[in-house]
Structure 1
Amino acid sequence: MQKFDAIIIGSGQGGTPLAGKLAAKGWKTAIIEQRYVGGTCINDGCTPTKAMIACAEVANTVLHSNRWGVHCVGFNVDMPFVVGRKNNIVEEFRNGINTRLDETPNLTLFMGTAVFTGPKSIKVMGEELGEEHKLAAEYIFINTGTTPYIPPIKGIDKVPYLTSTTILDQVVVPKELIILGGSYVALELGQLYLRLGSSVIILEAASQLLSKEDPDVSVVIRNMLEQEGMQIHTNASATEVSKTDNSIAVTATIEGKPQTLQGTHLLVATGRKPQTAALELHKTNVLTNDKGFIQVNEKLETSAPGIYALGDVNGGPAFTHISYNDHLLVYKNLFESANLSTKDRQLPYCMFTDPQLGRIGLSEQAALKKGLPFKVAKLPMNKVARAVETGHITGFIKALVHEYDNTILGAAIIGKEGGELVSVLQMAMLGGITATQVRDMIFAHPLYAESLNNLFMSLDQ
């Protein structure tokens, strides 16, 4: 049995930086990774998808270059190059993490599957047949993340469906892509492959795309994707899938009526499930909910003393930056007596469609539920000088402002670099800067940020 001060299971965006910080404090630290270091973000999520989205954006610009007076005669998508470029970027990032882990004193990386054998003991079944390591520590941090959830649709186990992981390695553009799901992953990947040449159909069970967003946000996103040629069905539930010689048939109830759709490829993007089953948590007294997510308190502590859960596996917001913030919260509470909690922390996020959806704080629906008095400032992108000049006028900027003290409660921005622009409002919210102050602030001309003057000026009209 090898004794450590801390064991971290999973090398994602919470586990890896925490391991480095604990080791730097002199803690003898073990980090266990089953597959690749870097977690979902580096290997299957943020890094590879955004690398490929960049290629698709270039394709779209070339396709519509006449809008800017540049005339091109056709183009071809070199899909093996697109996938190879993505793989090179992923490998570069992954190798960088491997190097940092290897060079960090007091830190040992174990490659293999972690299984609890007791409240504070773990068995690592290594990559080599019969390889096994037995570890123990007083502090254990679980950062195992999630994996694509496959719903129990009739026939799903008999068709060669794709997931958000496996589709990224397709070196041929799918001719006809049917996507189950209508949230961030589905829409990002749908637009990506649409722009690379696929015919794309979206089937979303809810009454609108992006079911957690305000209706005006959903409507604009839907319209922009449909204008690009995407077919979108809401109130659409797949009931059966089957394989024919050259296609996959999806039977669905759409707006109450049964329909059968045909496609060459099927992408299942209906959410994710926690990677907790293999851990054998029943040997630790760590509780999970009915979906398998580890239950934690506001300090990310599980029901077992000394065991924490960071990132997607704890059922919190499934974003890389939240996982990273989780490690800061745990570290500062352990070593700086910071008494931080997840309650009321900021939750920015961005959907990387083109244009992007940047979000921070409350939506209108959430503010109404809270009974807050608020007013809405809204500015269409076709009234933003920078957007008009660059030819990117789809979308709007919307902010919720407290009726009485003019503090900014939340924002949604659909527009070119919407994620970057919403970050300006995020910092204003953190610093207590009011809408009135932003209205009168000096921004360099003609940035997108300058539009925030006009946004909040609209409240005076």
Structure 2
Amino acid sequence: MNSNKIKTFDAIVIGSGQAGTPLVFKLASQGQKVAFIEKEHFGGTCLNVGCTPTKTYVASARRMWDAQHGEELGIEIPAGAKANLQKIKARKDALIKKSVDGIAQGVEKNENIIFFKGKARFDGKKIVAVNNELLTADEIYINVGGSSFIPNGYEDIPYLTNQSILELEELPEHLVVIGGSYIGLEFGQMFARLGSKVTIIEQGNSIIGREDDETSQTIQQIMEEEGVDFRLGAECVAATKNENGGISARINCSKDGVIEIKGSHLLLAVGRRPNTTNLQLEKTGVKTSDRGFIEVNDYLETNVKGIYALGDCNGKGSFTHTAYNDYEIIAENKFEEKNRKVSDRLITYGLYVDPPLGRVGITKKEALQKGLDVLIGHRPFSRIARAKEKGETKGYMSVVVDAKTKKILGATVLGVGGDEIISGIINIMNADKSYEVIRDSVQPHPTVSELIPTMLESLTRV
């Protein structure tokens, strides 16, 4: 490649995830000439293999659950409901295509955006190589996302990831999931509801270990009642390929000893890693952590002036909403002279099992570990009229309040509507107001949200 043929832009954006895509259009709208690089498909993880496709599957799985639980509400639904994975997949593909096509059309029509399809790598401090071309710009934004972590020993095993499992057109007879965290639980429950036998293997002594014990135990109990089998405390997990094309997982469980589990399909859901390995960041001087995350400051800038990292690859959040907030921080600070910071945002997320989990801030377990002086509120969903009327009383909500400032430090809502209800608490936290504001509010009846003020009326000190 001839250095004399380096193409110069105002900005280069590597990756089209939930930070990179809106940033490209924002930069272009301000008259900047932008090089936009994407190796696979527009929209990144969320749109193509994350939130959008999995939530379409969750919705289909919920329809199956409804079909099998009519009797409880006096609805006699004839037996025989069957999941058609080909149709479920087709619906998912159509939703994704519409969004991806929309981005592609927007890029194509914009004269300030030059698109390059290929893998980007750095060839110098601010020189990016893609295909057979060299690009440079004063400002470079890295939004390369993350991908499934594949442990050693699975190279010759026919495993699935969160991406490849979405391409199946026939239901697994027996899906074995290695990893009892967020991704493994969502896929485990949805495929169990669609008709697969499901076994979840987790190395820890509880699923989703970062959550409070009550959350982990409640979700496990809900899923076990739906037929999901859990194997916890599983050390020395190893898998082999069977002659019939299936797999066998051999584990040493603290509870059951050495056992062998045979399945038709294996899903690896043991975590994700940033896609930074092949960027050749060493040629830029950009620092990364020992796990490969690009280190950034409060304004998402790396140690090299003019090079920024957004989204999953910076280790500041692994969610669509944190990636989009990264975009907002960059765009508003650059064009609106604001002073937005990464450290200003609250960590919030959902787990889309059914009933769903909504989370914000710290857990009770974290508060105790830090030795904080806190007040705890707690109410089971079985105490709220609307949940009883819906016939969905499993779960609970809890809140952690600073005893001195009366500010909410964190909350958990595990139950029907929990992923939406949590926003009421998030708003109070973002407003930096006392928990008394929502405690003294009047909520409409009958709603699940009216349990929040009730919960806050009787806080107890830990």
Matches within 5 A, 1:19-168: 19-72=24-77, 73-125=79-131, 132-153=132-153, 156-168=154-166
* Distance (Å, rounded) in 2 between the aligned partners of 1:212 and 1:376: 18
| Counterpart Cα distance in 2 of 1:238 and 1:359 | 32
Alpha-carbon distance between aligned partners in 2 of 1:290 and 1:222, rounded to the nearest angstrom? 33
Partner Cα distance (2:405, 2:146) in 1? 41
Q: What is the Cα deviation at residue 180 of structure 1? A: 0.5
- Checking the alignment, whether the CA contact within 8 Å between 1:63 and 1:74 is kept in structure 2 is no
Distance of 1:99 and 1:297 partners within structure 2: 34
CA distance in 2, matches of 1:350, 1:460: 26
Aligned mate of 2:22, from 17, 28, 36: 17
Distance in 2 (CA, whole Å) between partners of 1:245 and 1:196 is 26
Say which SS state the counterpart of residue 159 (structure 2) adopts: coil
Q: Give the aligned partner of residue 346 of structure 1.
A: 346
Q: Structure 1: which amino acid aligns with 2:33?
A: K
Measure how far apart 1:305 and its partner are.
Answer: 1.5
Cα deviations by residue, 1:90-122 (Å, 9 ceiling, x for unpaired): 111111121222233412221111121111111
What is the root-mean-square deviation of aligned Cα atoms in Å?
Answer: 1.5
Task: Summarize deviations over 1:325-353 as a string: whole Å, max 9, x none.
Answer: 01111222223332322224211100010
Helix, strand or coil at the partner of 2:343: coil
What CA distance in whole angstroms lies between the structure 1 residues aligned with 2:381 and 2:364? 19
1:291 aligns with 2:291: yes
CA distance in 2, matches of 1:442, 1:101: 47
SS of equivalent residue, structure 2 residue 237: strand
Q: Measure the CA separation in 2 of the matches of 1:92 and 1:223.
A: 38
Q: Which residue of 2 aligns with 1:362?
A: 362
User: In the alignment, residue 43 of structure 1 is paired with which amino acid?
Assistant: N
Distance in 2, matches of 1:14 and 1:46, equals 15
**Distance change >3 Å, CA 2–CA 202, structure 1 → 2:** same
The 5-angstrom pairing of residues 261-340 of structure 1 reads: 261-340=261-340
SS at match of 1:88: helix
* Contact 2:376 2:460 survives alignment (8 Å): no
Contact 2:82–2:194 under 8 Å retained in 1:
no
Provide the secondary structure at the position in 2 that maps to 1:458: coil
SS at match of 1:343: helix
Cα distance change of structure 1 residues 239 and 450 upon mapping to structure 2, 3 Å threshold? closer
Q: Is the 8 A contact 2:375 2:402 kept in 1?
A: yes
**C-alpha offsets along residues 412-451 of structure 1, whole Å, 9 cap, x if unaligned?**
0101110110011000111133222212211222122122
Aligned 8 A contact 1:179 1:190 in 2? yes
CA distance in 2, matches of 1:21, 1:314: 21
Query: Is the 1:24–1:105 contact (alpha carbons within 8 Å) kept by the matching residues of 2?
Result: no
Please tell me the residue identity of whatever aligns with 1:82: I
| Alignment equivalent of 1:232, drawn from 230, 233, 236 | 230
Deviation at 1:295, TM superposition (A): 1.6
Write the distance in 2 (CA, Å) between the matches of 1:225 and 1:159: 27
Q: Which letter maps to 1:368?
A: L
- What percent identity do the matched residue pairs reach? 38
Distance change in 2, residues 1:157/1:323 (3 Å) = same
Corresponding residue of 2:254? 255
| TM-score (structure 1 length as normaliser) | 0.95
Compared with structure 1, are the counterparts of its residues 230 and 238 closer, same or farther at alpha carbon in structure 2 (3 Å cutoff)? Answer: farther
Q: CA deviation at 1:377?
A: 0.6
> Distance in 1 between the 2:236 and 2:93 partners?
32
Q: Equivalents in 2 of 1:33, 1:458: separation in Å?
A: 52
Q: Is the 8 A contact 2:375 2:460 kept in 1?
A: no
- Distance between the aligned counterparts of 2:50 and 2:89, measured in 1? 14
Which deviates more, 176-185 or 438-447?
A: 438-447
Mapped partners of 1:90, 1:364: distance in 2: 38
Gaps of 5+ in 2: 1-5
User: 2-side partners of 1:325 and 1:308: how far apart?
Assistant: 14
Correspondence 1:400-419 to 2 at 5 A: 400-419=400-419
Structure 1 residue 408 displacement after superposition: 1.3
C-alpha contact (below 8 Å) 1:394/1:415 kept by paired residues: yes
- Would the aligned equivalents of 1:286 and 1:302 in 2 still touch at CA under 8 Å? yes
Structure 1 match to 2:3: none
Q: CA deviation at 1:189?
A: 0.5
Q: Which residue of 2 aligns with 1:128?
A: none
* SS of equivalent to 2:458: helix
Distance in 2 of aligned mates of 1:202 and 1:11: 33
Report the Cα distance in structure 2 between the residues aligned to 1:202 and 1:238, rounded to whole angstroms.
15
Q: Would the aligned equivalents of 2:377 and 2:460 in 1 still touch at CA under 8 Å?
A: no
Q: Deviations over 1:41-95 (max 9, x none)?
A: 0000000000111000000110111111112222111111011111111111111
5+ residue gaps, structure 1: 126-131
Deviations 1:154-196 (A, max 9, x none): xx12221101000011111101011010111000000010000
Between the aligned partners of 1:237 and 1:272, the Cα distance in structure 2 is: 20
Per-residue CA distance 1:365-417 (angstroms, 9 max, x = gap): 22223332111111100111111111111100111122233221110010111
Q: In structure 2, how many angstroms separate the alpha carbons of the residues matched to 1:303 and 1:255?
A: 45
